[in-house]
A and B are shown apart, each in its own frame.
Chain A
Amino acid sequence: MKIAIVDDHLLFRKSLAHLVGSFSDVEVVFDGGNGQELLAFLRNNSIDLVLLDIEMPVLNGYQTCKILQAEYPDVMILIISQLTTRESIHEIMNLGAQGYFTKNSDPHQLESALKSMSENGFYFGMELGTVIREAILWEKKAARNYSSEVALTSRELEIIRLGSRGLGIVEIADLLHISPRTVETQRNRLMSKTNSRNFIGAVLFALKTRQLTLEKLED
């Protein structure tokens, strides 16, 4: 997995680059102090994932997220910042990032966070039930529009249910007796169908359009 690190605190950024570089199957191909430097790098290089700080000069994390989504939709975004977990969920839903890692949490967990990003497509560092409940609060404020005309197939609903239990693509594929590739395709379709930028968005969609209940989700 090719990773970029963007944070304006030089010492912290370098330490992160060293640490992440020591993980297996991971290569740090870029580190920079703001979003603009990252975008310049991306003109001629590709990455799979970016560890992105929010508060930065020139081009902050929020602005960078918007541009990445429009121009490099395949790049996964893991926000690295200092907000508390509650705030961070609201922030992630606003940004449409796929994950959040707080600078205060144990860096040991960063390796599993990266693994979860590549296997599940998201990471929140806390129980998914908590994330979803907090996301429902966020959704009330954001007043997102849900078209109830989009019907999810039973397979898609199953993927949502299993995904929110924290199962990875391979595990879901095993349970449903299909190939991991199919799961991945289905999941991508699910996101575009529900017009969501991250998995939690798709979960919210299913809940809001009453195609799934919270009880069933936690069942």
Chain B
Amino acid sequence: MVALTAAFLFVAVLYKNRLTRLQRQEAEHILKAAIESEKRERERIAADLHDGVSGDLAAIRNYLLLLERSTFSRELAEEALSQIKIGVESALENTRQISYRLMPPLLRKSGLNAALRDYFERLSFQSGIRFIWETSNDPQIVEDTAYELFRVIQELTTNMIKHGKISECRGTISFNGSCEIVLQDDGLAFDFVKSQKKKNGNGLYNIATRLKAIKAQFTFERRDARNFYTIRFVC
């Protein structure tokens, strides 16, 4: 009997150790993946600065140099001035977009709901697709969680525009006990399982790691010719 109890205890301890180790590994894995997806976002921003803003400014500098040189016609001068104007506008717009990508200003000041409503308005304007945010009151969400959720929704909507051929997307946040964000679109049937298998450089992988980091659940459903994306989390 004693021997049996001892054996049982031994197995239990062994099992517990193994469980702790697995949990630690899992946590390390999530952290690594989160760092990796942040890094990828930074790379994208660096590329935007590089290709966008730097290019605009270099173009402006070229035109200024052209105007400095003694011989140029009136037409060329007018052309140069109008191009410089375009360059300045483009540099301003690119800077605004990059700054927004780094941290949407409303997210800190007014919370997730306001930031998302603003984001949806921008998207409608830029893409010509109806993006409608339907919730008006703001739940209290910790800033770190809000930031991850914002990025996830950014990723999802970018995918919709790029691959989904949608004409409309609606979003809501509701909360009773836990919080729930639902996005729905009328686009092509989204092959969730297949997309999830492509691991590297994929937006979906990015989404999964971000959601894991804030312990949120993600479900996908195709219903009435619409895609439903639901994120549930404690708030």
A residues at B contact (CB < 8 Å): 8-9, 11-12, 14-16, 18-19, 22, 55, 82, 103-104, 107-108
Stretch of B64-72, B113-121, B153-161, B188-196 on the interface side: B64-72
A12 and B72 contacting across the interface, CB-CB below 8 Å: no
B58 and A12 contacting across the interface, CB-CB below 8 Å: yes
Which single member of A11, A104, A108 contacts B56 (CB below 8 Å)?
A11
A42 to B158, CA, bound (A): 38
B72 and A22 contacting across the interface, CB-CB below 8 Å: yes
Stretch of B3-11, B83-91, B215-223 on the interface side: B83-91
A107 and B61 contacting across the interface, CB-CB below 8 Å: yes
Residue numbers in A under 8 Å from B54 (CB-CB) = 82, 103-104
Residue numbers in B under 8 Å from A11 (CB-CB) = 55-56, 59, 83, 86-87, 90
> Given known contacts A11-B83, A11-B90, is B62 in contact with A18 (CB within 8 Å)?
yes
B66 and A9 contacting across the interface, CB-CB below 8 Å: no
B residues at A contact (CB < 8 Å): 50-51, 54-56, 58-63, 65-66, 69, 71-72, 76, 79-80, 83, 86-87, 90
A16 to B66, CA, bound (A): 10
Given A11-B87, A104-B58, 9 more A-B residue pairs with CB atoms under 8 Å apart are A9-B51, A11-B56, A12-B55, A12-B62, A15-B83, A19-B65, A103-B54, A107-B58, A107-B61
B62 and A15 contacting across the interface, CB-CB below 8 Å: yes
A107 to B69, CA, bound (A): 12
Which single member of B58, B71, B76, B87 contacts A18 (CB below 8 Å)?
B76
Which single member of A12, A18, A55 contacts B80 (CB below 8 Å)?
A18
Indicate the member of B51, B54, B62 with the most A CB atoms within 10 Å.
B62
Residue numbers in A under 8 Å from B63 (CB-CB) = 15, 18-19
Residue numbers in A under 8 Å from B61 (CB-CB) = 107
Residue numbers in B under 8 Å from A14 (CB-CB) = 59, 83
> Given known contacts A11-B86, A14-B83, A15-B83, is B66 in contact with A103 (CB within 8 Å)?
no
Residue numbers in B under 8 Å from A9 (CB-CB) = 51, 55-56, 59
Some 20 contacts from A to B, beta carbons below 8 A apart, are A9-B55, A9-B59, A11-B55, A11-B59, A11-B86, A11-B87, A12-B59, A15-B59, A15-B62, A15-B63, A15-B66, A15-B83, A18-B76, A18-B80, A19-B65, A22-B66, A22-B71, A22-B72, A82-B50, A108-B65
